[in-house]
Amino acid sequence: MKSLALQLDTKIFLICCLLLTISGCMNKPNYASVDDYPTYSGSDLGLTYTEKHSLFKLWSPAAEKVKVNLYSSGNSNDKIETYQMTRDKNGVWSVSIKGDLNGKYYTYQVRQNGAWLQEKPDLYSTAVGVNGQRTMILDLNSTDPKGWTEDQRPKLASFTDIVIYESQIRDLTISSNSGVENKGKYIGLTESGTINSFGQSTGLDHIKDLGITHIHLLPTFDHRSIDESRLEEPQYNWGYDPLNYNVPEGSFSSDPFNGEVRIREFKKMVQTLHGNGIRVILDVVYNHTGQTEDSNFNQLVPNYYYRKNEDDTFSDASACGNETASERYMMRKYIVESVVYWATEYHLDGFRFDLMGIHDLETMNAVTQALHKIDSTIFVYGEGWTAGQSPLPTNQQALKANTPQLESVAAFSDDLRDGLKGSVFNHEEGGFVSQVPGLKESIKFGIVGSTQHPQIDYQKVNYSNSFWANSPAQCINYVSCHDNHTLFDKLRIPKPDADESEIKKMHKLAQTIVLTSQGVPFLHAGTELLRSKNGIENSFESPDEINEIDWDRKHTYQDVVQYYQELIELRKNHPAFRMKTTSDIQKNLEFLDYDGSNFLAYQIGDNANGDEWNKILVLLNGSDLNKTIKLPQGTWTLIADGNQIKNSGIAQRSSTITIPAMTAFVLKQD
């Protein structure tokens, strides 16, 4: 009898095991591909914190199991407990943990295809420990600086009123002659009264005096290239290697080990800039991640967030190892929710999309639609190209040529950039300002903000065979940025025998064209100081000695600083340079017929855009010879002569005028 009972017990046990196995198989998801994954429309992924409990939610449809690992700190071997998560609907896993977990840290870990993958921070992390390896549980209200709820965006009437100034945080204050106490930090940009070796303003005061409206910060989300635990050692990187998208970078904070500090200091920086009339733009890099197989995305939801080639390898339109799949519902949702988070939690005023051409048009339109529900003056722009081929069809990509299909999204004009100074890929090639012929149509195209204009011969534009901006607000005009050589360094290469006075003239001519053209002007920080990187083209990981702004150059080139300051003021004072519509440009801006392969002239008439000046004449001499022309009928007042800008006038002319070589003139007729 005992033997029979034992046999029965064994059979019952085996049947129970079989039933449990069958039940497990029934619960185990089975998808033909990631495109079959269910999606989740809720807005509560990540952490929902209260003093009584914390709710954790992760979307990972194909996972077999998911757990949360709770830690006391952001980097020590001090695990408190591991909690198993429960599968909910639509591929979401969740667990609620009782008690006040404020100040604790956690990771997720996913089991898929029979194996536990790596521990990773929450994709929706809003605070992290040192080097971003664990998510911090934090009451974000505690990170608000005093007066944060009263912080207001500086007023902005139109996107064409914007003047952008682009810099990396560290570059602005790290030099020994910056006069800044908190060098290379967020709070370094909150310091006023800082001076260089000659007693001239630096940092925040300098930027404010220059007159720009927006500061564009190179990636300041948490990136992986800098070891935040060794900041006493020399390290530098621009930060185009994303780790945690919704968290400020720790190396710019005074304490990267405490996740609360970087948040508070970032907010204080934004608050201070706003208080000084400057809006803040964040450079965002949603097109790829710093890691591929080992990335947070790929370890928590393998293969979903990335595009693949037909052979199942990761596609790489970013030239950084991978490209994200913005066309997939959850990636698009992630991008949109991320920018909305930055705009609300950090009061940011704009976003510059790195390699925007990798993203699909629908995603970029969803971005602006969501942001403009918050504030219609939030500005979005990006690089309308990719760094390599993508599986996404070109007619779906947010490329420069597809800009007409974008809603309130601007793109950079490489047409004007290379037309002015020469190709960024061919270092020996010069441009319009360095006496290279055949580029007039490219310059004219930039002057009208890449819009449709009857006097542009599009077949002669360097990179575009048609207009690509529906309105001037969709065109970013520039001649230099963090990428490639500084303008000062680039101008020297094709003209090795030119003396510095000639380089200076070409430099001022190029930026005068940028700042008097229709569209949105964009300046590389330090261009007003004739910034140099000692000829280094790609300084993404060069030391501070190459990347820092040398503030003593302000003394050496004070005349250039003042000229650019006056040039920005001229643009801001005269709405004729800031027309809002293509039809206004077509109606009011006329190119004049003068000979010369490197000479251009145009007139803006009829008190354009409500300007107090009836007519404005802009004369651009890119040749190395003086140019004498007959003026249009009437008496003209010379306002800008390449050396100074006087609203009251420098001189009057009524018949002919001579424009010096490599110089821009601006004249008015009341």
Annotated catalytic residue, options 383, 415, 418, 489: 383
Enclosing H/E stretch for 489: helix 487-492
- Tokens 């790195």 appear where? 354
Inter-CA distances, 119 with 87, 123, 288, 463, Å: 18, 12, 20, 46
407 given a catalytic annotation = no
At residue 181, what are phi and psi to the nearest 5 degrees? Answer: -75, -50
Residues 339 and 329: their CA atoms lie apart, in Å, by: 16
Enclosing H/E stretch for 367: helix 361-374
CB contact burial 201-231 (16+ within 10 A = b; e otherwise): bbbbbbbeebbbbbbbbbbbbbbbbbebeeb
Tokens of 302: 């393998």
Residues in the chain, total = 670
Q: Within its chain, how far is the Cα of 557 from the centroid?
A: 28
Residue 338's CB is within 10 A of a number of other CB atoms, namely 19
Angle at 353 between CA 352 and CA 359, to 5 degrees: 155
Which residues, in sequence order, are CB contacts of 491 under 8 Å at separation 6+? 421, 430, 433, 434, 498, 503, 506, 507, 510
483 given a catalytic annotation = no
The angle that helices 440-447 and 414-421 make with each other, rounded to 10 degrees, is 130
Question: What 3-state class would DSSP assign to 488?
Answer: helix
The answer to whether 178 and 551 are in contact (CB under 8 A) is yes
Which residues, in sequence order, are CB contacts of 578 under 8 Å at separation 6+? 158, 160, 161, 518, 571, 609
At residue 380, what are phi and psi to the nearest 5 degrees? Answer: -125, 130
> Could you give the maximum distance between any two Cα atoms of the chain, in Å?
125
Phi-psi map region of 362: left, alpha, beta (phi>0 left; psi -120 to 50 alpha)? alpha
Enclosing H/E stretch for 560: helix 558-573
Strand partners, 69: 82, 107
Q: What end-to-end distance do the CA atoms of the chain give, in Å?
A: 117
The angle that helices 440-447 and 500-516 make with each other, rounded to 10 degrees, is 50
Annotated catalytic residue, options 354, 415, 441, 548: 354
Instruction: Kindly list the catalytic residues.
Output: 354, 383
